[in-house]
Structures are given as structure tokens and as C-alpha cells.
């Protein structure tokens, strides 16, 4: 597990984040935009849910957007 000092680095200086852009998300809740937190550094974000489309279709939509 990561020390509180290491976690603090992630929030104070994103380039010093211990996860180096490879977060491990724990997603809380359900619905269209569930909230998630990285289990290592604690960074939070919302995920965008995809309804009625395959993962391939979703990727194609994002590629052309």
C-alpha cells in the first residue's frame, strides 16, 4: 500500500503521481456517470457509461468526434 506522503504528491504535483498515468480505478455507484477513485493515489474521476452500443461502436464514435 502507498504511504500518505506518496498520495499527497499525486494531488500536489500530477507529474510526480505514483501511478504514472496507469491508475487502478474502483468504481462506486451505478448509472450514467459513476464516480471512481484510484486505489493507489486517490485521484477521482467520473466515467461515462455506454448504453446500447458495443465497445467497438463506442470507439468508432469517439474516433470520429
Cell readout for 32 is 450514467
Rounded to 5°, the CA angle 3-41-25 comes to 135
Residue 47 has phi, psi (to 5 degrees) of -100, 150
What's the domain range around 12? 4-64
Question: How many domains would you assign to the chain?
Answer: 1
Residue with the bigger pLDDT between 1 and 28: it is 28
pLDDT tens track for 34-60: 888 888 888 888 887 766 556 566 566
Mean pLDDT of the residues in the chain:
71
pTM exceeding 0.75: no
Amino acid at each position: 500500500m502507498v504511504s500518505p506522503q506518496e498520495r499527497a504528491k499525486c494531488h500536489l504535483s500530477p507529474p510526480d503521481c505514483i501511478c504514472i498515468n496507469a491508475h487502478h480505478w474502483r468504481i462506486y455507484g451505478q448509472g450514467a456517470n459513476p464516480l471512481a477513485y484510484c486505489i493507489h493515489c486517490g485521484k477521482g474521476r467520473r466515467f461515462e457509461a455506454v448504453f446500447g452500443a458495443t465497445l467497438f461502436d463506442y470507439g468508432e464514435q469517439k474516433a470520429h468526434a
